Amino acid sequence: MMPSLQTRNGQGKIGCVLWLLVLVVFFTACWKIIPVKIKTAELYDFMEEQAQRATRSSSEAVKKNVLARAKDLDLPVGPKDVTVQRRGGRVIITARYSIPIEFPGYTYVIEIDHVINRPVFAI
């Protein structure tokens, strides 16, 4: 026996709406999170560059450069979040900070912990 048209009409509409809702949430999350991840990766790359050039700069100058770059990238990094240490021929640059991302009715916090540990070569 073939199902009537009445029983087939409307089937799957809830599933379609739910999938559409999932897609909207997914793309909204990507739209907000991916730019933040790109900025944090740019800061990490900059910190690596600073560690490579640490022989020519003081620890305070390196810290100042990292903070200036973070400000340029609109990342919430303050002076207490960045440390630069020199130990036994190595430079260690650390940046620990949190980035809150606002969603309707929810705040997602990304915890960032960048640590660069490089040898300092005398030129």
pLDDT digits (tens, 9 = 90+) for 71-121: 999 999 999 999 999 988 899 999 999 999 998 889 999 999 999 999 987
The predicted model scores a pTM of: 0.81
The region, left, alpha or beta by phi > 0 then psi within -120 to 50, assigned to residue 78 is beta
pLDDT in tens, 38-75: 999 999 999 999 999 888 888 999 999 999 999 999 99
Give residue 14's pLDDT band: very low, low, confident or very high (50, 70, 90). Answer: confident
> Exposed, middle or buried by CB within 10 Å (0-12, 13-18, 19+), for 53?
middle
What ranges do the domains of the chain cover? 13-119
